[in-house]
Amino acid sequence: MKKYLFIALLPFIFLGCAQQSSVLNLSPYNSTSNSLGFAKQVQINSVVDNRQNKSVVATITNSKGDVSEYITLQNDISVWLKDGLEKEISRLGGQVVSFSSDIIVDVEIVWLKANLSGYSTDNLKGEAKVVLTIRRGDQTITKNVAQTQTKFAPIHTGGAFNKFIDELLSDIVKRAAVQILKS
């Protein structure tokens, strides 16, 4: 009888020790920038996600550094970033077109990662980086746009990343759009 009870409880023991996973859904990008009067046409040729681990964007770790929860994205980050850049470029006064233009841009997502660990100040840390390859006529310019953010999160759940990742990516979009239009 004890043998059968142990076998019946075994799956619950393993489930209790398993790592958790949360899914994060990014809000649609909403630009709040004022027009800077850039009168340039921009073609966003491609947005490519070259992160090593495309499924995980954040982790929650314990005091030993062991991962207790993985945070994944429901959205396709490439589509979200392209949509955000189109909105921001338009808001800044540029015009996004789908054919030959003043500026042709290729965007590479190099990294997007965040971690929540401990209870000290700034226990929530994140960083994102994109590389812009901008072509104007015969000239090619490569620009790195990176953003690092920290914040205090009192509760260690996947929900701590909701607004944090949105803000991190929104800052990247704003900075990238300005770099594209200034080129």
pLDDT, tens digit (0-9, with 9 covering 90-100), for 56-89: 999 999 888 899 999 999 999 999 999 999 999 9
Could you tell me what percent of the chain has a pLDDT over 70?
88
Specify the 3-state DSSP secondary structure of 3.
helix
pLDDT at 4: 46
Confidence label for 13 from pLDDT (cuts 50, 70 and 90): very low
Residue pair 42/95 in contact by the 8 Å Cβ criterion: yes
pTM of the predicted structure, to 2 decimals: 0.83
Report, as an integer, the average pLDDT of 5-33: 64
What are the respective helix, strand and coil percentages of the chain, to the nearest 5? 30, 40, 30
Q: 108 by DSSP, 3-state: which?
A: strand
pLDDT tens track for 131-143: 999 999 899 999 9
Q: What is the mean pLDDT of residues 3-27?
A: 58
Whether the pLDDT of residue 111 is over 90: the answer is yes
Q: Given this model, what pLDDT does residue 1 score?
A: 53
Query: How confident is the model at residue 102, as a pLDDT?
Result: 85
CA-based angle 74:32:115, to the nearest 5? Answer: 40
Mean pLDDT of the chain: 87
CA angle at residue 85 from 141 to 115, to 5 degrees?
95
Task: Fill in the amino acid letter for 168.
Answer: L
| pLDDT above 90 (res 12) | no
**Residue listed under structure tokens 């990662």:** 113
Domains of the chain: 20-182 (3.40.50.10610)
Which pLDDT does position 35 carry in this prediction?
73
* pLDDT tens per residue, range 24-54: 999 999 888 777 777 889 999 999 999 999 9
Q: Is the pLDDT of residue 2 over 60?
A: no
Binned at pLDDT 50, 70 and 90, residue 95 comes out as: very high
Q: What is the pLDDT of residue 88?
A: 95
Predicted confidence band of residue 103 (pLDDT cuts 50, 70, 90): very high
